[in-house]
Structure 1
């Protein structure tokens, strides 16, 4: 899976990176009373109401223990075999820990993990005072998930020596001096130590409860109060705050982006790179120092109720750490996360003497503001409403076809998936649901009218899951459009949110009592295609396949050891709208002919082959000569590629060529740094370079849809076979 740099819009996630010159031993964490209550409530629900309800017994206990241990130390870098043996008796007692509301054992396991992690990091720091011999023939095994637990302290110290040696060598090859390398790595290891000191009881509990929930089924999760709020924000795409994307950098809360129209941007007094060092509530408040805080703790202070005042102490981007902070008061407001909403663009596809205009609608998620809709707000946020508006705009733009880009769309609202599908098929069943009792319910829009009846394509990849698969499968089963890309994730299950606080019968002292038990995201049903099959495990297979980096062994439903099996039920009563069987072979021929001449596509295929080879390699050389030779070979290959690519580009495409060259250079080089160790300016420049480069797969998907338009317009008989009346709609753009 891709490594992610965690960035937050005043709400999401948990950032734990900071700097500590003299790290202290982390405090022993203990379970809170409400956590024991949340655990037993969760167990009562999971054992009775889950789609795949299983008893909380010794067999489940062993699954929980193994999953929890793996979540603590997945690469087996911290625990010794003796540490694991120390808790061996607990393998059959995780159920008792939950049932008796005594979470001492899982917390003891975590505290030992923290102790071992601190020992390893302190040893790593000690090694920086020595020296390394890079002329030795030595290798470091960086992937250890399937390796046995290390047995002795001497062996694990040697492993960490190799790990630190590799960190040093990467920086050395990138051109850093020994002095700079030592400073960088000292800071890196201190950051890791500081992260441990900032962990809280709620972090441990959520980790343990997810080990239980995911042992039942992969898509069942426990969300603590903070994670629950983050989930709600991700669905409604809005929050109340100042409108800034924040990132923790070197103990300081740093502004990474200003949201257009938000209080921060409108003030004109904040810019990217400024640091928030203090936060106060109310116009006359004295700000609290937040230097060194966890990002989510600082975010809790910055967010608040609409129209209330937050006072910030701001250290300007160009000021040193001892600079004088500036005081700024902002009035909180509702912030719409428009960067995660549906977006449209138009690609012009040249085909022979014709230029086709393909409208592209990109959907990051299937969002809906459930609360706003429930209270009757006519302007509630909805992906279907947004797409309907974009389709109306594309009709005015007179596009020849529409491509729905669902790559890396992990799903969201089932209702939105049904309603969105109806924009393209009109009324009729979209998906079937079967609950744990075996009852089947058909989800449909009985009164729906199609908003787009012209040529349609859907672009998917391995990251397209759940609601994305419902939409793509329905479009495919109805013969309504062409599915392009790679096999989707394979998640064919339906989840519901169970608010544990609403189950609590303890009298509330006030209406303002904060949530304390969290929520369960629990699988309650399995969905099936209208043709009776399911996307579970197998996903949606594309009609036209595209190049892919995905590894089904490590990503996708089939990678889970306890995924539900593929099954089939009776088809729903639905009327097929089209038949693609005569069209697809012609599209495949054109696709293969085109990509054979597309240098960028061929380079992508070459990269995939190289990646597949590297994926199988679990060792890296610690010999400087060997590593330099590998680096130089990569660099030469990149230069040769860029020279050939620029030679293919016309003079009028210099901007795109430069962007692609910059992106390729960034991809090829290894600066040895972790995300937060690069300057913010460099990080943003790299992100821009990646965005500006050509999207080879989207371009090819648009060409495939353009081919379909071309073939249908030039062959009325074929158009009638694909869909009665489609030729008329193509010739008269909507």
Structure 2
């Protein structure tokens, strides 16, 4: 929705955005002096359009952000620190002397965005380019000598809190260890030193090549996000290209040929064909075919794309539906120089089915009773708003897909339903409202408060429900924002039981602001700015604290390292008045009894014990901050880790009356149990038994089947 001058209306978008722009593979030669903002010869320079956008973004943040902060000398050092972190967060490129020179700009970042005088930031980036190129060239030179793999030394891989290197000698030593660690990783994978050296030489050469392909808009995006994320972690600037990607993520569709691409050895390679897309329908493309050139229309010239950045190639292939694109293909297995062929495709609408809601049916037998548990996995809160506005009766949305899947599961005679929100980082706020409305007949779903104290209660938009049976909602630490609205409402209305791990704790509302006033396309990019905070109908905020599950399950996700409470500049927790609502008389069984049943089952379930032991092993690895650079020590550590993992796996198999495996390589990852989902289904059965048991049916083996929405 458009931002009003006051920026005080509820957002049409609420999303957990985790977009990180990494610039650690960029580089060029430059020189910076502390007493000038003049850019060195050959360095990138800000355009007039970028200067204008910077001023616009600064004004929007000051005028509309919930915190009502000012961009001034007090904020300027924080912005500069964010900018440095975006360039060299691991302190592996800059010298302490570089950082000392940059102090001349420490109180100028507020002036840069107000006036559009961006040269100091671009000068800092030019120095980064210089240091990056120096480091990669040094890494290449190190490959001319065989490292001593017998030395007892270590590599500190987490340098976020380390001091900046003071000398080139210190930086050289850091990179000697880094290159040695890269080599050891390849040696542990079975390569010889000569083979590892060639792999690393190719890798580092490619980094240098990519350095010349960095675009000014990427530097500008890091620069503006240094400001946006100083206001809070969820305010973001998206470049025009990333604006398009964000739109695709939220609508689950785009116009193109329907192929997943990856850059392999300078060739853009076909990795997957999306069902229903033009490429899959043609039958002409194969996985691992390589694209060497792209042409527009039936007669347009072919543009050679070997060695191009993959995002540039994607932009050539995508286009308006109904238009023609031609691809020159080097077939899978053919050597460079072999005959190539040109294929013609008419672009069309491609739907990302893998990211849409999907269903699963589990049958669980307890004694002589079989329970049929439906599971709907909801990866995100998406909606094709363009399709809806255009009058497309079949436009995709989370609520529409889930409603259809519920009807299909009803036909399969389910006894209860599990909504799986694990990993769901959020999406459109209206979808959280309408999805809640599938299970709650009427009433408020969430409250939103703005910086001026104005509050709005957002209700279930439709009367009636799609499902009135027993309900379990599964969450984990990556369940955020809209997921927390839904899970919190289900919990507050006592409509169902929430199981899993405490959620992310994102309780803020973002508005999506296009920066191109007179264009339908985001030619200037767009800004998501935090304009409010949302609260549960009880008045409690999910900010920092998240949603606490009724029944807790083990999870490998770290509560300390993941979540709102781990992010810098996150807004504080608070509470507001309770909305007028009444919990439902759903006759939920006692949460305490459900927790006791689950705890007892965890103690006797070999899969759950295996999960807990795996988590403990993972936590021990997380505590490491350095790696040994003695090859035999690393081999012994790796052998011990694999032996421990094999022992845990075989203990689980024996407990399940399955045959043990001889090696961890014999493990089929696709057949590993989803312990948390299995336990969630068991909690559903506990609910059914503690309330009204299902009618006895003929017992069957536990099965599972998947279907994309």
Common fold by TM > 0.5: yes
Do residues 702 (structure 1) and 702 (structure 2) align?
no
Deviations 1:57-104 (Å, cap 9, x if unpaired)?
011111110011011111101011001111111111011111111111
- 1:714 Cα deviation from its structure 2 partner: 4.9
Is 1:287 matched with 2:302?
A: yes
Where does structure 1 differ by over 6 angstroms across 4 or more consecutive aligned residues? 12-18
Matched with 2:238 is 223
Q: Which has the higher contact order (CA 8 A, sep 6+)?
A: 2
Q: Partner of 2:107 in structure 1?
A: 92
CA distance in 1, matches of 2:367, 2:598: 14
Q: Identify the residue that residue 566 of structure 1 maps to in structure 2.
A: 573
Alignment partner of 1:638 out of 633, 645, 650: 645
1:182 aligned to which of 175, 180, 197:
197
Mapped pair 1:316 → 2:331: yes
Moved more, 25-34 or 148-157: 25-34
Alpha-carbon shift at residue 540 of structure 1 (Å):
0.2
Q: Does 1:478 align with 2:485?
A: no
Match of 2:144 among 129, 139, 142: 129
Give CA-to-partner distance per residue, 1:581-631, whole Å, 9 cap, x none. Answer: 852122112211212122222121112112222222211111122212111
**Aligned residues of 2:538 and 2:578 also touching (Cα < 8 A):** yes
1:693 to 672, 678, 686: 672
1:360 counterpart residue number: 375
The alpha carbon displacement at 1:369 in A equals 1.3
Once the two structures are superposed, what CA deviation does each residue of 1:618-676 show, in whole Å capped at 9, x if it has no partner? Answer: 1111112221211121222233234334434457xx8xx98xx99x6499xxxxxxxxx
Partner of 1:538: 545
Matches within 5 A, 1:644-659: 644-649=651-656
Q: Cα offset for 1:29?
A: 1.6
Residues 24 and 87, structure 2, Cα contact 8 Å, conserved in 1: no
**Is residue 152 from structure 1 mapped to residue 167 from structure 2 by the alignment?**
yes
Partner residue, 1:586: 593
Aligned match of 1:264: 279
SS in 2 for 1:145: coil
1:320-379: CA deviations, max 9, x gaps? 122222110011111111111110011112223222111110111100112222344332
Q: 1:366 to 1:501 in 2, by over 3 A?
A: same
Q: CA deviation at 1:445?
A: 2.4
Aligned partner (choices 210, 220, 243) of residue 195 of structure 1: 210
Q: 2:57 aligns with which of 42, 56, 65?
A: 42
1:174–1:72 Cα change, 3 Å: same
Task: Tell me which residue corresponds to 1:68.
Answer: 83
Residue 214 of structure 1 aligns with which residue?
229
Render the CA deviation track for 1:256-302: whole Å, top value 9, x for unaligned.
Answer: 10011211111111111111111001112232101111111111110
1: CA distance, partners of 2:461 / 2:396: 22
* Cα distance in 2 between the residues matched to 1:665 and 1:244: 31
* Equivalent of residue 463 in structure 1, options 478, 496, 514: 478
TM-score (norm 2): 0.90
Contact in 1 for aligned 2:80/2:109 (Cα 8 Å): yes
- What is the SS of the residue equivalent to 1:45? helix
Give the Cα–Cα distance (whole angstroms) in 2 for the partners of residues 340 and 666 of structure 1. 30
1:188 offset after TM fit, Å?
Answer: 1.5
2:312 is the alignment partner of 1:297: yes
Identify the residue that residue 508 of structure 1 maps to in structure 2.
Answer: none
Give the structure-1-normalised TM-score.
0.87
Distance in 2 (alpha carbons) for counterparts of 1:666 and 1:77: 39
Aligned equivalents of 2:178 and 2:75: distance in 1?
35
Tell me if structure 2 keeps the 8 A contact 1:368–1:383.
yes
Give the C-alpha shift of residue 176 in structure 1. Answer: 0.8
Check whether the contact 2:271–2:288 (CA below 8 A) recurs between aligned residues.
yes
Of the three residues 374, 382, 403, the one matched with 1:388 is 403
Aligned residue number for residue 726 of structure 1: none
SS of structure 1 residue aligned to 2:212: helix
Determine if contact 2:65/2:529 at 8 Å carries over to the other structure: yes
What is aligned with 2:289?
274
Unaligned 5+ segments in structure 1 are: 1-11, 505-510, 668-688, 717-734
CA distance in 2, matches of 1:288, 1:13: 30
Of residues 584, 589, 596, the one that matches 2:603 is: 596
CA contact (8 A) 1:15 1:294 kept: no
User: How many correspondences in the alignment?
Assistant: 666
Deviates more, 1:569-578 or 1:374-383: 374-383
2:74 partner SS: helix
Change (3 A) 1:79 1:40: same
CA gap 1:338/1:30 in 2 versus in 1, 3 angstroms:
same
Is the 8 Å Cα contact of residues 444 and 580 (structure 2) preserved in structure 1? yes
